[in-house]
Amino acid sequence: MPSRDTERIAVVGGGPGGLYAAALLKRLRPGREITVWERNAPEDTFGFGVVLSDETLGGIEHADPVVYAALSDAFVRWDTIDVVHRGTTQTSGGHGFAALERRTLLRILHERCASLGVRLRFRTEAPPTAELAAGHDLVVAADGVHSATREAHARHFRPTVTHHRNRYIWLAADFAFDSFRFEIAETRHGVMQLHAYPFARPSSGNPGASTVIVEMRDEVWRSAGLDTCGTAESAERCAEVFAGALGGRPLRSNKSSWLTFATVTNQHWSHGRTVLLGDAAHTAHFSIGSGTKLAVEDALALAACLEEQPGLSAALAAYEAERRPVVLSTQRAAAASLRWFEELPQYAHQPPRRFAFNLLTRSRRVTHDNLRLRDPGFTGAVEEEFGCPPGTPPMFTPLRLRGLELRNRIVVSPMDMYSADADGVPGDFHLVHLGARALGGAGLVMTEMVCVSPEGRITPGCTGLWTDEQADAWTRITRFVHDTAPGTAIGVQLGHSGRKGSTRRMWEGIDEPLEDGNWPVVAASPLPYAHGVSQIPQALDRDGMDAVRDRFTEAARRAARCGFDLLELHCAHGYLLSGFLSPLTNRRTDAYGGSVENRLRFPLEVFDAVRAAWPRERPMTVRISATDWSHGGTSDEDALAVARAFAAHGADAIDVSTGQVVPEERPEYGRSYQTPYADRIRNVLGVPVIAVGAISSWDDVNSLLLAGRADLCALARSHLHDPHWTLHAAAAQGYAGPGAPWPLPYRAGSRPPPTGRTDAPKPRLTLD
């Protein structure tokens, strides 16, 4: 890169991001003229300790050994996390943290900048952005979470700043905890939580120091009167609440105040010659590692891109392209962690080891398998508390639902194959498809949505259970499963398409009306699925509701005769019963619309009728969409009310899906993205749940189960990819027990085929 492009550089903000960027840029090209503007004095700083991971330190070591050496001297290192909950302490080892005082970090960076010839202008407000841009080749806006530069160019950067609801305060204790400590206090106002870690080690005459963050929900903070306390009084009150953790020692503040965390994102990170860096560009909740780490890593990437790219705009584009996915992934993990801490009171009842495991795996970055490697003793104890038989991974621990014993926790999620004949009869395809999955080891194999009437089909390729011919065809399939894959259960999902009926097969245009041969559709309200595209459904009247309910009952009786082991009522994804539940699709003004109790009335009538027709000892589940991912749709409270009502009427588990109710939905896709909804229902209501949605690995399944976020895990697309998903998961974990027996004819394949090997002699001797 021609150095002339970036000879004069202005850095707004002397935090870790700005200072480290300045030092690197100057070190790489000593001829550059670099000025850092910092409104504070060098010795001023807020906050106390910062944590840096080994990964970040590796980057610093490589880029600037001088800074690395100074940091290394100052670090406190530790590798255990203590989780204190209801009087017990669970310790998990092998984590590897390094922390130092923020003031020390800034001092090291000040000294490095000064020695390299960076001009540091302390106690000086930076000139306006336009002025800086006019006089410099590059403006690095490292001016923190409240970045004025970002706001000045908001039209270009397009920032979003989201404030969250927990209150927290950064404090310090004048002694060094010997590990990371997380503790909850269940006060009469609600749950308060403490996050603490050492940042200065004890030495002769110096007791060391620790960062202490106290956090709680807004309503707890108000109820405890902390909203009216000043800083000193807040520190005193927090020290009283956590006197046990602190050994009665006080907490001190440093420009501390009660904050709500703000997540910052920007659609663009640069504009002309101005670039955002660190907190100005993005924030990630403090609970998954400090913003300092991200800011320092941004600085490394920016300096490298300016070296590597042929011009300024290419360098800024490369910097953003490199950092954005890393930051997004961190922000996703941080969002999961933040939400976990917001929802923490729902986990307070968990047994201590599960609680600790749940805390450690909250962001989904740390999993059962990671923890097992880090500290097998800790995970062994969690597994024992869960009830895993010796040598049995959590996913192969059996589960009983009424009279049905499932031999493992994997469910082949319902998947419509759109491959029935014109009469809705399942054929050889269904036998082979479901039979293969049953041979693949899952504990429960679900059929696709089986429709209760011809007009209740989604497409002409959907199967049904409204004729005896269909029932005979299903019986052939259940027999095959029971005879050939003994121990595998097969469940039927019954549903009615409602306003999403009379559409094309998935691969011909999902949710689009048929080209010809459409049949009239019904729904809770006369609202089409896609305006101007879908049919306008007829709103069901009482007679219509009776007729639909009776269709469900007849189908349930047939399903019982077919030999299905479990029946699931499909109340999700915008089909008929789901359409009654969602406020977006149910606009009725009679007793079946309005409040969630009213919206539940018809689905519950159907549930009760089906439950009565379904053999008492066989379990029933209900699939719901716990959110519509759309403004004004099903709320968290609605989802809880719906799950509570079905459970009270006898549902044995709730299968917690989301969305597909309205076309304008905006789902937040990601790994296990729907599981927080299952988790909430399980932990708030104590109702068993099936979690589903991008559960991508057996490690995730084990983690969800052990953390108490799910009872069963349903996987759909993974089973299209690999019908033997469960058997392969067993082989990968070295498990060969009763939770996943290989079918006898397949036993010769129960180990992965050998891969290539080399016959060359092993290098043993070195001859110099």
Partner in contact with 126, chosen from ligand FAD, ligand FMN, none, beta carbon below 5 to 8 Å by kind: ligand FAD
Of residues 214 and 458, the one with the C-beta less far from ligand FMN: 458
Of residues 375 and 448, the one with the C-beta less far from ligand FMN: 448
State the residue for tokens 């009084």: 233
**CA torsion sign, 747 to 752 to 753 to 757?**
negative
Which of 14, 574, 688, 743 touches ligand FAD by CB under 6 A? 14
Which of 11, 18, 198, 332 touches ligand FAD by CB under 6 A? 18
Of residues 22 and 224, the one with the C-beta less far from ligand FAD: 22
Considering only 151-159, 275-283, 431-439, 592-600, which stretch makes contact with ligand FAD by CB under 6 A?
Answer: 275-283
Q: Residue 651: name the closest of 711, 707, 599 by CA.
A: 711
Partner in contact with 269, chosen from ligand FAD, ligand FMN, none, beta carbon below 5 to 8 Å by kind: none
268 φ/ψ angles, rounded to the nearest 5 degrees: -130, 145
Partner in contact with 143, chosen from ligand FMN, ligand FAD, none, beta carbon below 5 to 8 Å by kind: ligand FAD
Site for ligand FAD in 636-655 (CB under 6 A): none
655 Cβ contact list (under 8 Å, min separation 6):
568, 572, 621, 622, 623, 624, 689, 690, 692, 714
Beta strand ranges found along 146-242 (DSSP E): 159-173, 180-187, 190-200, 209-217
Q: Residue 21: name the closest of 266, 327, 277, 321 by CA.
A: 277
DSSP category for residue 452: S
Cα separation, 37 vs 2, whole angstroms: 25
Residue 657 lies near ligand FMN (rule: CB under 6 A): yes
Distances (CA, A) of 96 to 65, 80, 93: 21, 8, 8
Partner in contact with 459, chosen from ligand FAD, ligand FMN, none, beta carbon below 5 to 8 Å by kind: none
Of residues 116 and 415, the one with the C-beta less far from ligand FMN: 415
Question: SS3 of 586, please?
Answer: coil
Which of 278, 352, 501, 593 touches ligand FAD by CB under 6 A? 278
Site for ligand FMN in 407-426 (CB under 6 A): 413-416
* Residue 123 C-beta: closest distance to ligand FAD, Å: 9
With vertex at residue 440, the alpha carbon angle to CA 435 and CA 444, rounded to the nearest 5 degrees, is 75
Which of 28, 431, 694, 736 touches ligand FMN by CB under 6 A? 694
Cα separation, 9 vs 136, whole angstroms: 6
* Residue 283 C-beta: closest distance to ligand FAD, Å: 7
Token pair for 20: 């480290």
* Residue 284 C-beta: closest distance to ligand FAD, Å: 8
DSSP category for residue 530: S
* Residue 290 C-beta: closest distance to ligand FAD, Å: 3
**CA torsion sign, 662 to 663 to 664 to 668?**
positive
Q: Residue 15: name the closest of 53, 50, 61, 56 by CA.
A: 50
Contact 630, 666 (CB under 8 A): yes
Q: Which amino acid is at 464?
A: G
Of residues 123 and 542, the one with the C-beta less far from ligand FAD: 123
Beta strand ranges found along 53-151 (DSSP E): 76-78, 81-85, 88-92, 97-101, 119-121, 138-141
Contact 705, 409 (CB under 8 A): yes
Considering only 261-269, 467-475, 645-653, 715-723, which stretch makes contact with ligand FMN by CB under 6 A?
Answer: 715-723
* Residue 693 C-beta: closest distance to ligand FMN, Å: 5
Cα separation, 434 vs 448, whole angstroms: 10
283 CB-contact burial (10 Å; exposed 0-12 / middle 13-18 / buried 19+): buried
Token pair for 414: 């319902």
Site for ligand FAD in 31-70 (CB under 6 A): 37-40, 46-50
Return the number of other C-beta atoms located less than 10 Å from residue 134's C-beta.
11
Cβ density class 394-431: b for 16+ within 10 Å, e for less? bbbbbbebeebebbbbbbbbbbbbbbbeeebbbeeebb
Partner in contact with 493, chosen from ligand FMN, ligand FAD, none, beta carbon below 5 to 8 Å by kind: ligand FMN
Q: Which amino acid is at 622?
A: V
Token pair for 635: 């709320």
Cα separation, 371 vs 475, whole angstroms: 45
Of residues 36 and 647, the one with the C-beta less far from ligand FAD: 36
Cα separation, 454 vs 521, whole angstroms: 11
* Residue 602 C-beta: closest distance to ligand FMN, Å: 19
Site for ligand FMN in 438-467 (CB under 6 A): 448-449
Considering only 241-249, 473-481, 686-694, 742-750, which stretch makes contact with ligand FMN by CB under 6 A?
Answer: 686-694
User: Going residue by residue from 601 to 640, which x/- string records binding to ligand FMN, judged by CB under 6 A?
Assistant: ----------------------x-----------------
Residue 84's beta-bridge partner residues? 89, 183
Partner in contact with 717, chosen from ligand FMN, ligand FAD, none, beta carbon below 5 to 8 Å by kind: ligand FMN
Residue 704 lies near ligand FMN (rule: CB under 6 A): no
Look at phi and psi of residue 257 and say left if phi exceeds 0, alpha if psi is from -120 to 50, else beta: beta
Beta strand ranges found along 72-158 (DSSP E): 76-78, 81-85, 88-92, 97-101, 119-121, 138-141
With vertex at residue 22, the alpha carbon angle to CA 16 and CA 28, rounded to the nearest 5 degrees, is 130
Q: Which amino acid is at 211?
A: T
Count the site residues for ligand FMN by CB under 6 A: 20
Residue 470 lies near ligand FMN (rule: CB under 6 A): no
Q: What's CA 189's distance to the chain center, in Å?
A: 28
DSSP category for residue 752: P
Which of 6, 9, 10, 13 touches ligand FAD by CB under 6 A? 13
Of residues 164 and 573, the one with the C-beta less far from ligand FMN: 573
* Residue 276 C-beta: closest distance to ligand FAD, Å: 9
User: Going residue by residue from 101 to 130, which x/- string records binding to ligand FAD, judged by CB under 6 A?
Assistant: -x----------------------xx----
Site for ligand FAD in 187-246 (CB under 6 A): 211
The residue with its CB nearest to ligand FMN is: 716
Q: Which amino acid is at 740?
A: A
Catalytic amino acids?
Answer: 575
Of residues 129 and 657, the one with the C-beta less far from ligand FMN: 657
* Residue 450 C-beta: closest distance to ligand FMN, Å: 8
* Residue 679 C-beta: closest distance to ligand FMN, Å: 16
Of residues 297 and 448, the one with the C-beta less far from ligand FMN: 448
User: Going residue by residue from 557 to 596, which x/- string records binding to ligand FMN, judged by CB under 6 A?
Assistant: -------------x-xx-----------------------
Cα separation, 71 vs 214, whole angstroms: 27
Partner in contact with 82, chosen from ligand FAD, ligand FMN, none, beta carbon below 5 to 8 Å by kind: none
Of residues 99 and 184, the one with the C-beta less far from ligand FAD: 99
Cα separation, 667 vs 693, whole angstroms: 11
Which of 144, 693, 708, 723 touches ligand FMN by CB under 6 A? 693
Site for ligand FMN in 201-230 (CB under 6 A): none
Which of 86, 531, 717, 747 touches ligand FMN by CB under 6 A? 717
Question: SS3 of 643, please?
Answer: helix
Cα separation, 64 vs 69, whole angstroms: 9
Of residues 84 and 678, the one with the C-beta less far from ligand FMN: 678
Footprint of ligand FMN (CB under 6 A): 413-416, 448-449, 493, 570, 572-573, 623, 657, 692-695, 715-718
Footprint of ligand FAD (CB under 6 A): 12-18, 37-40, 46-50, 102, 125-126, 142-144, 148, 170, 211, 278-280, 290-292, 295
